[in-house]
A and B are shown apart, each in its own frame.
Chain A
Amino acid sequence: MNNLSESIKMASIYTASDKIVARMIEDELLIVPIEEGIADFDDALYSLNNTGQAIWKLLEQKKSVTAICMDLAQEYDQTVEAIEKDVIDLLNKLLNMGIIVEDKSII
């Protein structure tokens, strides 16, 4: 969806793009990107695993990437450093696919 390679910023807050549909179905979070008014079920239909879903829930709570890492570290009883790489990897993927966008309305 997005050709530019972007990297997430730790202090920033990210939110679901309005160009996707995300729906929880039978314990799976399914994401369908919408491009030029077309939702392509054949090319791009994604599901987030449990960790991905935990990150998604925290994104919905408008938490910064740093706050998400801290919350997950606490929840999974890990160090922030151990959690950070997975969170950043997933968010970078989601950002570059246009599934999430930086929320600049919150400073």
Chain B
Amino acid sequence: MRELRLSSRNLHLLMGSVLDHKLVQKMRIKASGYSMSPFIRNGQIITIKPIVNKKILFGDIVVAVIQKKREKILVHRVIGKKNKQYLLKGDNLDTDDGWHHEKQIFALIDLAKDKKYRAFQNIQNALIALGSKTGMLNKILLPVSRFIWKRMYHE
């Protein structure tokens, strides 16, 4: 028996089976990449939960499977919603991933450590999504907050 790393396609198949299991409420997995930085960092352990009643909100960070040259799993934010289509984007990227059908979205990321923060998390997610959609997040909000952070804590 050995521990292993999976391809996107196999990870998707396995995640689907796990989410279907009656006892599973959440999954934990290590994120890789910088597209959602600073909200999700490379190597951070993230908690994934199933989507209940197809409820995906503007600003939610979702797990979606997209088909490019090969199947790829994305953990990106919903920055637009139209019927059953969702516009996804990495917070740290300049361009969005395009519109994707709800069938391609199979889980949500749960960043709230405590249930009582969940409502606050939804508002925060929506504000971040708005910033990400308009491009203000990368160009203004994050650089300014980094600048203030440095001034406050490192000088």
A residues neighboring B (CB under 8 Å): 18-19, 21, 23, 25-26, 28, 30, 32, 34, 37-49, 52, 90, 93-94
**How many of chain B's residues have a CB under 8 angstroms from any CB in A?**
23
Chain B residue at minimum C-beta to C-beta distance from A31: B1
- A23 and B14: CB pair below 8 A? yes
CB-nearest residue of chain A to B12: A25
B152 within 8 Å of A by Cβ?
no
**B140 touches A (CB below 8 Å):** no
Which single member of A23, A28, A30, A39 contacts B27 (CB below 8 Å)?
A39
Give, as a whole number of angstroms, the nearest-CB distance from B94 to chain A: 30
Question: Which of A18, A25, A46, A93 is in CB contact (< 8 Å) with B3?
Answer: A46
Q: Which 4 A-B pairs have the closest CB atoms?
A: A37-B25, A41-B29, A23-B17, A39-B27
Whether B1 contacts A90 by the Cβ 8 Å rule is yes
